[in-house]
Amino acid sequence: MRLSAEDLEAGYALACQTVIEGDLEVYIPPQEEITRHLTIERTAAKVSVPFDYDWRTHQTVIKCFCEIEPPTLADNTDDLARLERELARRYGLREVAVPLPVLRTLARTLRQADWRVTVVLDRGDAQPRLVDVLPGDQMQTLFGAAVDIGTTTVTVYLVDLFTGEVIETAADYNGQIKRGEDVISRIVYASKDGSGLMELQSLVATTINKLIERAAMRRKINPREIYKMAVVGNSTMMHILLGLPPEQIRLTPYITTVNQPPLVLANELNLNIHPLARVDCLPGVASYMGADITAGVLSSGTHDTDKVTLFLDIGTNGEMVFGMREWLVSCACSAGPAFEGAGVYHGMRATSGAIEEVWINAKTHEPTLRVIGGGKPRGLCGSGLISLLAEMFITGVTDKAGNINLTLPTPRVRTGEHGAEYVIAWAAESDTGEDIVITKPDIDNLLRAKAAIYAGYVILAHSVGMTLNDVEQMLIGGSFGQYLNIEKAIEIGLLPDLPWDRFKFLGNTAARGAYMALLRRESRDEVAAIAKKMTYLELAADNAFYEQFMAAQFLPHTDLTQFPSVQKVLESKTADG
């Protein structure tokens, strides 16, 4: 972003270029303030058990009730061997790994509980591992948690591992947000000398701990009763959670420390569940193709369908997978967080006060708005921006290059501080007391973002000798996807021009994938197989991508034959005009 001569005269300066020489107060425009919101609660919708589930066979974490023979002078076998003998005899479990903390309380637990104990075991590794030995019969409950660490939002599912049901959900903003909005700024912060990385690790651990506690409290559960956690997130989020320096993720050739994290326990990550609970970090594929996507492929079934499928997860980044049962190819587009409201002058997150839908009267060019929460508008969220852009284009407020037509007979088009702009809400109608506008630079940002995503589709299809016409279904994940207006997303060229019944919105596919992998070891193996099988195309060095990206920076595209339905709309409008 550059400041205009007028801005400079008015005393504006770019914060990122400013050296702070003393104490200062920072005013945040109201639409940037983070208020907890429906979106976050909505992602926590009812989830049903997605498959046949029997904990005895499917679950890696199990409980075994043991009645152990007390020792005598004639049978002086040691405590652990007595327990192991019973586990072998009654449950066929052998060669169990025993962590020292469990051993330290074993003698007293056995005697205080009169040799009747409930053993918690994790069978997730080659060698079964003792997690805890609880006094008496505690076979009533067994809990796990599935966690999706988004750059913006963290979602937790609290799961009853006996029934497989999600019994509570909770979501909140990732505590790291105060150290940067997108992955790149997080990486920069983590790469600073000193404690940047560990501060970010602690921030996300604290977010997870709060969510776990909130969910557990509602059910009167002690978080210590959670004996396994499955975690997904993009590779940067996973690195930070694990305390791995993420700096190489943003430096060419973009190499992660690890895509398939090894066995990690809760106490190594400051997570307040059972300290010896496994934190199963699901595998990713590359620096910009993380476990959130492999989990999304799992839960969307992209890897297990006969239909040629395009799977898109639009969050803070735009990752997509093209494929079916036999093959999977993927790429990530540095779309940036434009659709989350960042880089847009009056953009904001999808919280209350955000305009989420816009209709423009083709004659008067007057807009009608729908605002989240129903009050006065404060800014525009992603779906609002898409809707606005589509309406502006279809009603001729902009041309196909996104230029605003200043000759229209309405005061809503005008030249503002940042050049041409369109007024969506007058100061008197807005919550901020200022005009809410969209400017030419805003539109350019949005065009770049949607062009990057569309170019990704094309490159993936071409990489397997197909075109987008071959797509038999398009599956859209990410909380953002749920509120996308297909018609308008096609009109701006964000989605390919397919029959509407080929689109399916799946909500938080990442969290759902984590949940599936938490439940069933077969599903966990599937994610690993997906990560192994998936080809990742690095677009950073790809000229073909750049060409497609340039061609897509129009509404809906330079090549209108790729958007026949939009062409039809435009023709009918022209006919109307």
* The pairing of beta strand 278-281 with beta strand 226-233: parallel
Residue 247 lies near its own copies (rule: CB under 8 A): yes
Among positions 17, 48, 76, 543, the unique one binding its own copies when judged by CB under 8 A: 76
CA-based torsion, 222, 151, 34, 373: positive or negative: negative
Nearer to its own copies, 108 or 573 (CB): 108
- The residue (of 226 and 242) whose beta carbon lies closer to its own copies is 242
Any bridge partners for residue 332, and if so which?
A: 319
Q: Pick one of 8, 14, 97, 550: the residue that binds its own copies (CB under 8 A).
A: 97
C-beta atoms surrounding 435 within 10 Å: 18
Instruction: Rule CB under 8 A: say whether 544 interacts with its own copies.
Output: no
Rounded distance, CA 349 to CA 371, Å? 12
With contacts defined by CB under 8 A, name the span among 149-157, 315-323, 452-460, 534-542 that binds its own copies. 534-542
Stretch of 74-82, 161-169, 352-360, 552-560 lying at the interface with its own copies (CB under 8 A):
74-82
Note whether 68 binds its own copies by CB under 8 A.
Answer: no
Token pair, residue 50, equals 């997605």
127, 368, 467, 469: which one binds its own copies (CB under 8 A): 127
d(CA 536, CA 319): 11
Structure tokens, 179: 């150290």
In the bound complex, what is the minimum distance in angstroms from residue 288's beta carbon to its own copies? Answer: 10
DSSP 8-state code for residue 404? B
- Name the minimum Å distance from CB 21 to its own copies: 33
As to burial, measured by CB atoms within 10 angstroms (0-12 exposed, 13-18 middle, 19+ buried), residue 462 is middle
3-state SS class at 222: coil
Contact stretch for its own copies (CB under 8 A) within 4-12, 53-61, 106-114, 400-408: 106-114
Residues binding its own copies: what is the number (CB under 8 A)?
48
Q: Tell whether residue 108 is a contact of its own copies (CB under 8 A).
A: yes
Among 49, 98, 134, 529, binds its own copies (CB under 8 A): 98
Stretch that binds its own copies, among 142-150, 255-263, 356-364, 503-511 (CB under 8 A): 255-263
- Is 194 a binding residue for its own copies by CB under 8 A? The answer is no
In three-state secondary structure terms, 335 is coil
Q: Can you tell me which of 16, 26, 28, 81 binds its own copies, judged by CB under 8 A?
A: 81
Q: Which of 31, 155, 259, 383 binds its own copies (CB under 8 A)?
A: 259
Interface segment toward its own copies; rule CB under 8 A; list 174-182, 245-253, 355-363, 436-444: 245-253
Could you say which of 49, 80, 184, 362 contacts its own copies (CB under 8 A)?
80
Quote the least distance from Cβ 39 to its own copies, whole Å: 33
Using CA of residue 346, residue 348, residue 352, residue 358, what is the dihedral sign?
positive
User: Of 78 and 366, which CB lies nearer to its own copies in the complex structure?
Assistant: 78
Q: Helix or strand or coil: residue 519?
A: helix
Contacts of 30 by beta carbon, 8 Å cutoff, 6+ apart: 353, 378, 431, 432
State how far the Cα of 433 lies from the Cα of 455, in Å rounded to an integer.
Answer: 39
Exposed e or buried b for every residue in 281-309, given b needs 16+ CB within 10 A?
Answer: bbbbbbbbbbbbbbbbbbbbbbbebeebb
99 binds its own copies (CB under 8 A): yes
Sign of the alpha-carbon dihedral angle for 274, 275, 281, 287: positive
Binding residues for its own copies (CB under 8 A): 71-73, 76-81, 95, 97-100, 103-104, 106-108, 111, 126-127, 242-245, 247-248, 252-264, 268, 286-287, 536, 538, 540-541
